[in-house]
Amino acid sequence: MALDLFLCRHGETEWTLSGQHTSFSDISLTERGKKQIALLAPALHKITWNLILSSPSRRAVESCLIAGLAPTLEPLAVEWNYGKYEGLTHVQIEAQNPNWNLFRDGAPGGESVQQVGQRADDLLKMIMQINGSVLLFSHGHFLRVLVSRWLELQAGDARLFTLSVASISHLGFERKQKVIRFWNNTCHLSADLSGGL
C-alpha cells in the first residue's frame, strides 16, 4: 500500500472574503464557510483514513470538526507567517512595496520562502512514513508550497498553483513518481463529488 495524501483547505473566513493575509490571526469560519465544509463531509467519509492532521489554527480545526473528523494537531501545517503584512490585503501591501512577491520575497518580520519550504519538507518527511490515506487540513499558501515540494519543485514555484477555500486535492504516486492525482476540486460547492474521490 502506498501513501495517498489528501489536502483540504479550510472553509471561507471574513478575511478570505476581504483578501487579507491571515496567518497567526485566529479567526473562525463564516456561516457560508461552515456550509462549504459540511458539503465535503460525505465524500471525506468514503475513505478510511490512516491519519488525519490539522493545522492548530481555529479555521482549520473547525473545518475538520465540521466535516465530522477528529484531527491530530500538527504545528508544521500552520499558514505562512506574514509578519508585518498580517491582516493587509495585496493592494495595501503593494502601496508600501510595489514589487513585492510572497513567493520570491517572503514576509518581512515573518517567514522566508526557504523557511516555509523547510517546514513543508519536514511535514512531508513525517507523512511519508505512513502507508495508506492521510488527510491534511491546512491553509492556501502553505499547501501550495507543500505541493511544490511534493513534486520536488522549488518552494517559490508555489506561485504556479492556486487553491480555493474548501477545496480537496489528492497527491499520490504513479509507480514511484510523485504526482498530483487531482488539484483544487471544488465541485462539491455546487454538486456532489461523484468521480472526484
CATH number of the domain within which 88 lies: 3.40.50.1240
- Rounded (10°) angle between helices 31-44 and 58-66: 50
Q: Which domain holds residue 140?
A: 3-189
Q: Could you tell me if residue 196 is inside a domain? A: no
Confidence (pLDDT) at 55: 98
User: How long is the chain?
Assistant: 197
For the chain, give the percent of residues with pLDDT over 70.
Answer: 94
For the chain, give the percent of residues with pLDDT over 90.
Answer: 91
From the candidates 10, 21, 139, 188, give the one annotated as an active-site residue: 10
Pull the grid cell for residue 182: 487531482
Q: Average the pLDDT over 62-66 and give the result.
A: 97
Write the CA distances from 123 to 27, 176, 187, 197, integer angstroms.
24, 20, 28, 23
* Alpha carbon distance 186, 24 (integer Å): 25
Q: Could you tell me if residue 197 is inside a domain? A: no
Q: Could you tell me if residue 195 is inside a domain? A: no
Q: Average the pLDDT over 15-22 and give the result.
A: 94
Q: Could you tell me if residue 92 is inside a domain? A: yes
Confidence (pLDDT) at 188: 56
Overall domain count for the chain: 1
Residue 115: CB atoms within 10 Å: 15
Q: Is 10 annotated in the active site?
A: yes
Q: Is 111 annotated in the active site?
A: no
Confidence (pLDDT) at 187: 66
Residue 1 banded pLDDT, cuts 50, 70, 90 = low
Q: Could you tell me if residue 194 is inside a domain? A: no
From the candidates 12, 74, 79, 111, give the one annotated as an active-site residue: 79
**Average pLDDT of the chain to the nearest whole number:** 93
pLDDT in tens, 97-121: 999 999 999 999 999 999 999 999 9
Residue 190 banded pLDDT, cuts 50, 70, 90 = very low
Q: Could you tell me if residue 59 is inside a domain? A: yes
Report the range of poorest mean pLDDT among 12-26, 158-172, 178-192: 178-192
Grid-cell match 488527510, residue found: 135
